[in-house]
């Protein structure tokens, strides 16, 4: 941070400082760097932040947002009881503290005194109760509440419509709320940091949540320019106000290349994310710039096969397709070493990944034999691989298509979809597998650092995130047992490791590579950090833009 006033105990230095101050500030401003006093004088700075992969977001209701871009916007607009810090550890947000009952089934939160919504009304325990019920109300229509908040007592019944409110979520007084869960959990607080657990105003209702006009977080929507972006301004009532900010522009860009060109011509200040990094072909151009930021991503790019459709219901077919992929060539040649090839589900460095997994190696001959064992004639085997149009996705799926055709002699058709349509079709594949996608190329990034966030919520039989419709009774039991253990991560990790081995062997996913968070941030931007989960803002009071 550059400061107008250079600290000094010497009067002589103070005299010199007076001579330096004006020209220094002018030089900094001329180079796009705002001093603190300059920001204060003109009412704060503006930050232009690109959201790649979409032309718009369908809603700003945190209970109804369903994709990474929507989650980014929601995170800027709404606070939760807790949040994750730059190390992905739980810290207080709108709740200043909490206590856990002896049996581990009730969390009692105390809300911050003085925290308000953007309309000036106080954030109360009744708002918390309303928000959590809203997230699980079938009328809300989103999968995220039942998916992420399944531990809440009564969540399944609420999502099924057999009850109308969560029995374990109760307002004790204006600033105290009790939240009951159905089983002890080592990761419950982490789930409460996610979008469907954000706090919205009961009085303003769902419509105000959907358009971002009444919010509980650091920003509120000033304008929503459909198909272009969102204009956000600070919420003065947030407990950690964005005091150096005048405006935050979220700019929608359909693809990363467009965002890259806007960045290089100074039209935006931040681009890239854990889900949509800088295009691999552009990394060489920017890797030596101070703007370039990189971190190993806690994500996994993979292919899913619809296990409810023939011939993907035969594990030998899935194993054959896995055997025909040369991950090292894909990662190091096609994508220029900007990603790391993997044959497992948990990313390197993620809790639990220190335990080994035996993957399915590249072996085209073995793949051909597996197809023969399954009674599949390669000449008549044809399927469609669906993917979202963004970044390097087309390059990757084209290579996958070639590898399968060259190594197995099968025909693969490619189906590109706009990202929001692709997300919708993934959900359809779970809801009605017979009418769902045959195969798809996708990505999952961790919400919080726990194997449960990859294995249990994505691969247990019947869970909403199980897009390939994988099902294995032993896997289910291992992960459910691990989910129940509190206070002994080594024991949990061992069970998750056994489950992960089953998932890899039976190709619940065909893992390809883990990425890097590759982003560009103008040096004049203050208060942001790049982590394995993308860009985080440790303290909103430190956030400042460039203009």
Residues 332 and 357 occupy one common structural domain = yes
Report how far apart, in Å, the C-alpha atoms of 109 and of each of 80, 103, 125, 170, 186 are. Answer: 11, 16, 9, 11, 17
Rounded CA separation 412/383 (Å): 5
pLDDT of residue 319: 98
Read out DSSP for 173-204? Answer: ETTEEEEEBSS--SSHHHHTTSGGGS---TTT
The CATH number given to whatever domain includes residue 225 is 3.40.190.10
Rounded CA separation 212/207 (Å): 9
Residues 6+ apart with CB under 8 A from 285: none
What's the structural domain count of the chain?
A: 4
pLDDT of residue 529: 94
Residues 192 and 277 occupy one common structural domain = no
Of 276, 277, 199, the C-alpha closest to 238 is 199
Residues 244 and 145 occupy one common structural domain = no
User: Which structure tokens are listed for 440?
Assistant: 């798809």
DSSP letter at 140 equals G
Report how far apart, in Å, the C-alpha atoms of 334 and of each of 83, 260, 327 are. Answer: 37, 20, 10
Residues 329 and 231 occupy one common structural domain = no
Read out DSSP for 351-413? Answer: TTTTS--------HHHHHHHHHHTT--GGG-EEEEEEE-STTHHHHHHHHHHHHHHHH--EEE
Cβ 383 vs Cβ 542: under 8 Å: no
Asked whether residue 5 is assigned to any structural domain, the reply reads: yes
- In total, the chain counts a number of residues equal to 547
Asked whether residue 360 is assigned to any structural domain, the reply reads: yes
pLDDT of residue 486: 94
Residues 75 and 199 occupy one common structural domain = yes
Residues 32 and 134 occupy one common structural domain = no
Paired residues of 535 in beta bridges:
530
Asked whether residue 378 is assigned to any structural domain, the reply reads: yes
Q: Residue 10: phi, psi to the nearest 5? A: -105, 130
Burial class (CB in 10 A: 0-12, 13-18, 19+), 171: middle
Half-sphere exposure of 394 (CA within 13 A, CB side): 12
Asked whether residue 62 is assigned to any structural domain, the reply reads: no
Last residue of a domain, one of 166, 191, 211: 211
Residues 132 and 272 occupy one common structural domain = no
Rounded CA separation 395/406 (Å): 17
Asked whether residue 63 is assigned to any structural domain, the reply reads: no
DSSP letter at 122 equals B
Residues 197 and 254 occupy one common structural domain = no
Asked whether residue 503 is assigned to any structural domain, the reply reads: yes
Rounded CA separation 39/321 (Å): 57
Residues 126 and 184 occupy one common structural domain = yes
Report the sign of the C-alpha dihedral through residues 119, 82, 221, 145, in that order.
negative
Residues 206 and 283 occupy one common structural domain = no
Rounded CA separation 252/50 (Å): 6
User: Which structure tokens are listed for 503?
Assistant: 């998932």
Of 231, 208, 253, 194, the C-alpha closest to 60 is 208
pLDDT along the chain (547 residues), means of 10: 28 30 33 38 84 92 92 97 92 98 97 95 98 96 90 95 96 98 95 97 96 97 96 96 97 93 96 86 93 92 98 98 98 93 95 97 98 97 95 95 98 94 91 95 92 96 94 98 95 98 98 93 96 91 95
Q: Are strands 95-100 and 106-111 parallel, antiparallel or unpaired?
A: antiparallel
The CATH number given to whatever domain includes residue 370 is 3.10.105.10
Buried b (16+ CB within 10 A) or exposed e, 53-62: bbbbbebbbb
Distance, C-alpha 290 to centroid of its chain: 25
The CATH number given to whatever domain includes residue 146 is 3.90.76.10
Residues 199 and 229 occupy one common structural domain = no
Last residue of a domain, one of 211, 231, 260: 211
Residues 218 and 349 occupy one common structural domain = no
Residue 176: count of CB within 10 angstroms of its CB: 16
Cβ 77 vs Cβ 215: under 8 Å: yes
**β strands within 290-360, DSSP E:** 292-296, 299-305, 340-341
DSSP letter at 12 equals H
Q: What is the side-by-side order of every strand in the sheet holding 299-305? A: 340-341, 510-514, 299-305, 439-445, 382-388, 411-417
pLDDT of residue 34: 36
Asked whether residue 100 is assigned to any structural domain, the reply reads: yes
Residues 6+ apart with CB under 8 A from 433: 306, 308, 309, 469
User: Which structure tokens are listed for 297?
Assistant: 């991503």
Q: Are strands 229-234 and 245-253 parallel, antiparallel or unpaired?
A: antiparallel
Domain hosting residue 21, numbered range: 1-37
Rounded CA separation 141/1 (Å): 45
pLDDT of residue 21: 32
Asked whether residue 14 is assigned to any structural domain, the reply reads: yes
Rounded CA separation 503/432 (Å): 22
Which residue has tokens 């997230």?
A: 135
DSSP letter at 332 equals I
pLDDT of residue 95: 98
């Amino acid at each position: 941070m550059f400061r107008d006033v250079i600290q000094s105990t010497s009067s002589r230095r103070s005299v010199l400082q007076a001579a330096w101050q004006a020209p220094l500030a002018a030089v900094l401003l001329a180079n796009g760097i705002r001093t603190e006093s300059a920001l204060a004088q003109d009412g704060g700075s503006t930050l232009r932040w690109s959201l790649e992969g979409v032309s718009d977001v369908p809603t700003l209701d945190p209970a109804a947002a369903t994709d990474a871009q929507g989650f980014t916007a929601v995170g800027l607009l709404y606070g939760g009881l807790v949040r994750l810090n730059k190390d992905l550890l739980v810290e207080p947000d709108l709740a200043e503290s909490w206590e856990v009952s002896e049996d581990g089934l009730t969390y009692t939160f105390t809300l911050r005194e003085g925290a308000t919504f953007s309309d000036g009304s106080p954030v109360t325990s009744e708002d918390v109760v309303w928000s959590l019920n809203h997230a699980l109300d079938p009328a809300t229509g989103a999968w995220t509440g039942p998916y992420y908040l399944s531990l809440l007592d009564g969540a399944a019944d609420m999502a099924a419509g057999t009850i109308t409110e969560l029995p374990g979520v109760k307002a004790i007084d204006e600033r105290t709320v009790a939240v009951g869960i159905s089983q002890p959990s080592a990761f419950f607080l982490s789930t409460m940091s996610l979008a469907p657990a954000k706090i919205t105003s009961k009085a303003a209702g769902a419509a105000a949540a959907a358009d971002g006009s009444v919010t509980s977080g650091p920003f509120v929507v000033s304008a929503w320019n459909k198909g272009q972006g969102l204009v956000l301004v600070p919420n003065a009532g947030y407990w950690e106000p964005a005091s150096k900010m005048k405006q935050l522009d979220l700019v929608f860009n359909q693809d990363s290349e467009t965002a890259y060109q806007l960045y290089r011509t100074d039209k935006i200040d931040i681009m890239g994310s854990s889900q949509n990094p800088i295009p691999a072909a552009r990394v060489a151009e920017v890797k030596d710039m101070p703007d370039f930021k990189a971190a190993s991503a806690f994500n996994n790019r993979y292919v899913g096969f619809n296990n409810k459709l023939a011939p993907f219901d035969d594990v030998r077919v899935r194993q054959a397709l896995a055997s025909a992929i040369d991950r090292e060539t894909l990662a190091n040649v096609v994508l220029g070493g900007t990603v790391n090839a993997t044959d497992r589900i948990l990313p390197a460095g993620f809790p639990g990944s220190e335990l080994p997994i035996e993957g399915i190696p590249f072996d085209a001959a073995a793949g051909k034999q597996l197809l023969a064992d399954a009674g599949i004639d390669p000449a008549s085997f044809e399927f469609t691989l669906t993917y979202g149009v963004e970044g390097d996705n087309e390059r990757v799926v084209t290579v996958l298509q070639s590898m399968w055709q060259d190594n197995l002699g099968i025909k693969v058709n490619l189906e590109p979809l706009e990202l929001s349509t692709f997300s919708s079709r993934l959900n359809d594949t779970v809801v009605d597998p017979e009418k769902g996608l045959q195969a798809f190329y996708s990505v999952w990034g961790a919400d919080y650092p726990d194997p449960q966030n990859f294995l249990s919520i994505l691969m247990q039989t019947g869970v909403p995130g199980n897009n390939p419709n994988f099902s294995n009774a032993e896997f289910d039991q291992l992960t459910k047992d691990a989910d129940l253990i509190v206070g002994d991560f080594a024991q949990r990790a061992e069970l998750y490791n056994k489950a992960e081995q089953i998932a890899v062997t039976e190709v619940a996913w065909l893992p390809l590579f883990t990425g890097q968070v590759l982003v560009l941030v103008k040096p004049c931007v203050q208060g942001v950090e790049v982590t394995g989960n993308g860009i985080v803002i440790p303290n909103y009071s430190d956030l400042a833009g460039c203009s």
